[in-house]
């Protein structure tokens, strides 16, 4: 806008000068020698003043142009500075976000590793427990399967004479705990009877003709 006004002012001044110059030239060529000499001096002064004014106007225009360029440069520098600060803030924010993502990934990795370690520990403990249980069952089975129920001594007292026969009354290997229980229950009466006879024979006074017969 200031350029438009400056141009209008310059054109107006130039037009006025041209009109005045034309009038002055007419008077200069139609007057007396003294008047023409004075006119030439005035014309020379006018030329000097006009050139001075023109230089002054050019200097003002140059100053305005320089000020505008300086202002634009200053604004550009300010804008660049603001943009640089904003870019720096964005870079810092991106860096913080990246660090947060790395921390999160590391924590997640640790959690997964800990979970895997716990799973391996649980599997190992479960496997050890299964091995121990199988060993205990095998040991118990061995104990049950090797349990042999035998009635070796059968003592009979007839007419005061105690006779002992040595033979295997019953021998069977129990394969399970339930079967062993049934076998024990089956021979319990016989065992009790034998124990009672043994206690009676031990407590009774031996007769004069006491003798023990044995199997060959």
Instruction: State the Cα–Cα distance between residues 89 and 97, nearest whole angstrom.
Output: 12
28 close to 39: Cβ distance less than 8 angstroms: yes
156 close to 204: Cβ distance less than 8 angstroms: no
Q: Kindly indicate the confidence band of residue 167, based on its pLDDT and cuts at 50, 70 and 90.
A: very low
Q: How many CB atoms lie within 10 A of CB 197?
A: 16
pLDDT at 71 over 70: yes
Residue of 214 and 63 predicted with greater confidence: 63
Q: Is the pTM of this model over 0.85?
A: no
pLDDT at 97 over 90: yes
What is the model's pLDDT at position 27?
A: 60
Chain segment 5-62, per-residue pLDDT in tens:
556 666 666 666 666 666 666 565 555 566 666 667 777 777 788 888 888 888 888 8
End-to-end CA distance of the chain: give it in Å, rounded. Answer: 149
Mean residue pLDDT of the chain comes to 72
Q: How many CB atoms lie within 10 A of CB 72?
A: 10
CB under 8 Å to 155, separation ≥6 — which residues? 162, 163, 164, 194, 197, 198, 201
Q: Please state the separation of Cα 203 from the chain's center in Å.
A: 86
Chain segment 98-148, per-residue pLDDT in tens:
999 999 999 999 999 888 888 899 999 889 988 988 887 777 665 554 445
For helices 33-145 and 2-30, angle between their N-to-C axes, nearest 10 degrees: 170
Q: Is 158 helix (H, G, I), strand (E, B) or coil?
A: strand
What is the model's pLDDT at position 62?
A: 87
Residue of 25 and 207 predicted with greater confidence: 25
Residue of 215 and 66 predicted with greater confidence: 66
Q: Please state the separation of Cα 10 from the chain's center in Å.
A: 74
What is the model's pLDDT at position 210?
A: 45
Instruction: State the Cα–Cα distance between residues 170 and 155, nearest whole angstrom.
Output: 15
pLDDT at 68 over 70: yes
């Amino acid at each position: 806008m200031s350029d438009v006004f400056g141009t209008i002012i310059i054109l107006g001044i130039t037009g006025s000068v041209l009109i005045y110059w034309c009038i002055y030239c007419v008077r200069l060529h139609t007057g007396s020698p003294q008047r023409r000499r004075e006119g030439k001096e005035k014309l020379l002064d006018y030329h000097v003043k006009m050139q001075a004014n023109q230089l002054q106007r050019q200097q003002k225009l140059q100053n305005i142009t320089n000020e505008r360029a300086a202002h634009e440069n200053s604004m550009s520098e300010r804008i660049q500075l603001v943009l640089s600060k904003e870019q720096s803030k964005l870079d810092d924010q991106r860096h913080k976000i990246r660090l947060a993502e790395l921390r999160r990934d590391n924590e997640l990795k640790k959690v997964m590793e800990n979970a895997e370690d716990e799973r391996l520990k649980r599997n190992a403990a479960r496997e050890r427990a299964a091995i121990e249980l199988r060993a205990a069952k095998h040991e118990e089975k061995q104990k049950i399967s090797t349990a042999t129920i035998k009635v070796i001594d059968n003592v009979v007292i007839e007419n005061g004479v105690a006779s002992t026969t040595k033979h295997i009354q019953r021998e069977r290997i129990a394969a399970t705990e339930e079967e062993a229980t049934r076998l024990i229950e089956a021979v319990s009466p016989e065992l009790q009877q034998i124990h009672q006879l043994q206690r009676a024979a031990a407590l009774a006074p031996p007769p004069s003709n006491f003798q023990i017969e044995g199997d060959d």
